[in-house]
Amino acid sequence: MSFGKIQTIRKACPLCGGKIVVSALYQISYNYTVTKSGKLSKKYSVSSPGSMEVSIAACENAPDKCSAAWDADQFYIDEKDRFVDMRYGGKDDE
Ligand SMILES: [Zn+2]
């Protein structure tokens, strides 16, 4: 008996059949310096580590018409760029 999460490859939303939208969230910093006058500079530099911090996903119809959504630990993209659902486990789309 396994308690592992069920992993299901999805091509569409398991609840309504809509498209699944994966959002890759990047961390970007806007860096302001405090000037000699003591005020925050209007200039800033942007630093971006460039690495992907986290991805989330949701149905294209969410949240209005559909409640399907995945947190970072509830799905992943496999080596073939397929969406693997670990939340709404069950039957495959195939
Ligand atoms: Zn949906």
Instruction: Give 68 Cα–ligand 1 centroid separation in angstroms.
Output: 5
pTM for the model: 0.69
**CA 79: distance to chain centroid?**
17
**What residue spans define the domains of the chain?**
8-26+54-85
- Our measurement of the distance from residue 10's CA atom to the centroid of its chain's CA atoms, rounded to an integer in Å, reads 15
* Cα 79 to averaged position of ligand 1 atoms, centre (Å): 24
Structure confidence by residue, pLDDT tens digits, 17-66: 999 999 988 888 899 999 999 999 999 999 887 666 689 999 999 999 99
Site of tokens 């969230």:
25
Contact assessment for residue 69 and residue 57, using Cβ atoms and an 8 Å cutoff:
yes
Residue 3 Cα, ligand 1 centroid: separation in angstroms?
26
